[in-house]
Structure 1
């Protein structure tokens, strides 16, 4: 009896070794990357749900850790948003070959007034078009700071 092959339209996610671990219960946020996160404007916002645990300020030092590497950057707070420095975020995106449709989980490992450290998990894969459209409708619009 022949077995039918799986449809090529089935989403797939590549998992690699020690890149994944159970969350520890510390604060975290997750995001499915859209075009505005990875090109051409390289914009990343830390969601308001972390406002109560993150320090406020104009240029707060932050480190993203993935695998054996770390990226030093800053985030700045406006009246409504915490935005990550675009140049440093671009380096993280480029160094990890991130693309629209990839997912990232940012777990807050440590936080004080001098530095914020996030450990990042990257989920690479094809996100179903319906889900991407949901995120794209809002996320593709550049954030206007007034």
Structure 2
């Protein structure tokens, strides 16, 4: 799920944008009932680059900022359950929606991590859902 390339969302609207051409890492998830009710686990390709500590995190989405907890001191790094649930609830994210997380700030020595997030509600093209399985830097989803 971790990618380091730029791409276009392929979806019209001001809530979707081309990912940064600066090479900032990003990853995507297609929300399922487990992700919605529980936690978002970071892919190893990104979590290996982030702190091994519990620190503040921020998500920037829809001109708002959500303060979360990043649990980097666990075997599987993830956002705190309560703060992740609040973000999901306030944005009415449901199973089948896709979220794209672009790391805006943060590395192994950071005291905070910040992500810019796109929520693709009911707009994630069916033909891309077939390509959105697995996680490989060698097989990014290219949306033209």
Taking structure 2 as the reference length, the TM-score comes to: 0.71
Structure 1 residue runs of 4+, over 4 Å off?
Answer: none
Per the alignment, in what secondary structure is the counterpart of residue 115 of structure 2? strand
Q: Pick from 37, 60, 64: which aligns with 1:65?
A: 60
| CA deviation after TM superposition for structure 1 residue 53, in Å | 2.3
Q: Pick from 90, 95, 101: which aligns with 1:100?
A: 95
**What's the Cα RMSD here?**
2.3
Q: Pick from 14, 17, 20: which aligns with 2:16?
A: 20
Q: Pick from 45, 51, 68: which aligns with 1:49?
A: 45
- Structure number with greater Rg is 1
CA contact (8 A) 1:14 1:125 kept: no
- C-alpha distance in 1 between matches for 2:45 and 2:63: 28
CA contact (8 A) 1:101 1:126 kept: no
Taking structure 1 as the reference length, the TM-score comes to: 0.70
- C-alpha distance in 2 between matches for 1:52 and 1:88: 22
- More helix per residue: 1 or 2? 1
Q: In 2 relative to 1, CA 84–22 (structure 1 residues): closer, same or farther, beyond 3 Å? A: same
| CA deviation after TM superposition for structure 1 residue 67, in Å | 1.7
| CA deviation after TM superposition for structure 1 residue 14, in Å | 7.0
Alignment of structure 1 residues 108-123 onto 2, 5 Å: 108-111=103-106, 113-123=110-120
- C-alpha distance in 1 between matches for 2:105 and 2:46: 13
Corresponding residue of 1:30: 28
Cα deviation 1:83-125 (Å, max 9, x = unaligned) = 2101000110011000000001000001152110000011111
